[in-house]
């Protein structure tokens, strides 16, 4: 196929020898199957912020730090340079997350490098050597659903142990290879300790899993694994070997109004950011 413009710099640098085909296109990036010497890998080409439907939401950036004070100030002001830096932070976050999670034993693709807005990484394959399907495209029995759901909860616990929450986990960003589920798409990964909405992000991720697998194993629908995992984590009792029941006791203390108001404020800031992006696109 014709080499996409965004991949030309990697071809020129000898990092990619051939672009074989497009693998998938999503809300944040387009992924291509490429040949690098004797290896077949995938190249994830991030879309520009103005082209993504998944913008750099305030909730996802909370807790992230930029060491360079000049860059941090530019990002806060939203200057052209600041937006460029924000894009780099967004893209590098996935590379950092992949290395960090792989070290914690989480099943994620192996990253190789990030260059000019392109992440070059392992191509996850099935037992026949073909590109692994997304979970959404896999049919399964009740027993297989329960097994896969348990395996993914284990991955969620390992991620949390490494201080991270996926933040957008669903059947659309999980691949199934010959050995089970592999988690992908991590530029929006949330810092478990630095985000005020970490608990709700984790619960949403785990609820998404329960809703999907509930189509095959109805007993998973309505389970409360997310809240249980977070409760154990906060209490310092969560380990990869901790048994999970999917049930939690109802809280006796009143709701945290301040936390709810903080989430509302984050949502308001996200809407302002979305409108700013729209105006920039309209103004060219």
Read off the pLDDT of residues 54-100 as tens digits, 9 standing for 90 and up.
444 555 455 545 455 554 454 455 566 556 666 676 777 888 999 99
User: What separation in angstroms does the CA of 177 have from each of 100, 130, 152, 157, 182?
Assistant: 21, 9, 13, 20, 7
Would you state the torsion angle of the CA atoms of residues 217, 222, 228, 229, taken in this order, to the nearest 10 degrees? 50
Phi, psi of 177 (to 5 degrees): -100, -165
- Range with lowest mean pLDDT among 14-23, 80-89, 179-188, 201-210: 80-89
pLDDT score for 75: 45
This prediction's pTM: 0.78
With a cut of 60, say whether residue 13 has pLDDT above it.
Answer: yes
User: What separation in angstroms does the CA of 13 have from each of 9, 32, 58, 189?
Assistant: 6, 17, 35, 30
pLDDT score for 179: 95
Phi, psi of 7 (to 5 degrees): -95, -10
Q: Which domains, from first to last, does the chain contain?
A: 5-283 (1.10.510)
pLDDT score for 110: 95
Band of pLDDT at residue 53, cut at 50, 70 and 90: very low
With a cut of 50, say whether residue 23 has pLDDT above it.
Answer: yes
With a cut of 50, say whether residue 207 has pLDDT above it.
Answer: yes
With a cut of 60, say whether residue 138 has pLDDT above it.
Answer: yes
Average pLDDT over all residues of the chain? 85
Share of the chain above pLDDT 90, in %: 62
pLDDT score for 65: 53
């Amino acid at each position: 196929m014709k080499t996409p413009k965004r991949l030309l710099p990697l071809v020129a640098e000898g990092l990619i020898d051939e672009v074989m085909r497009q693998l998938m296109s999503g809300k944040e990036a387009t992924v291509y199957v490429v040949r690098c010497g004797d290896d077949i890998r995938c190249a994830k080409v991030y879309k520009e912020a103005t082209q993504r439907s998944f913008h750099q939401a305030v909730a996802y950036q909370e807790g992230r730090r930029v060491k360079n004070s000049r860059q941090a100030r530019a990002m806060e002001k939203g200057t052209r340079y600041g937006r460029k830096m924000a894009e780099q932070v967004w893209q590098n976050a996935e590379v950092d997350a992949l290395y960090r999670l792989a070290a914690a034993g989480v099943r994620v693709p192996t990253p190789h490098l990030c260059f000019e807005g392109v992440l070059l990484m392992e191509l996850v394959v099935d037992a026949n050597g073909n590109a692994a399907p997304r979970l959404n495209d896999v049919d399964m029995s009740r027993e297989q659903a329960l097994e896969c759901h348990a395996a993914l909860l284990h991955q969620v616990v390992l991620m949390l142990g490494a201080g991270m929450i996926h933040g957008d986990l669903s059947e659309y960003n999980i691949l199934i290879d010959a050995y089970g589920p592999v988690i992908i798409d991590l530029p929006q990964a949330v810092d478990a300790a630095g985000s005020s909405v970490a608990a709700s992000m984790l619960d949403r991720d785990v609820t998404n899993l329960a809703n999907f697998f509930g189509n095959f194993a109805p007993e998973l629908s309505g389970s409360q694994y997310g809240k249980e995992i977070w409760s154990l984590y906060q209490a310092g009792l969560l380990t990869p070997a901790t048994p999970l029941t999917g049930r939690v006791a109802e809280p006796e203390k009143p709701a945290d109004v301040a936390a709810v108001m903080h989430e509302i404020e984050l949502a308001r800031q996200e809407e302002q950011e979305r409108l700013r992006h729209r105006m920039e696109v309209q103004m060219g």
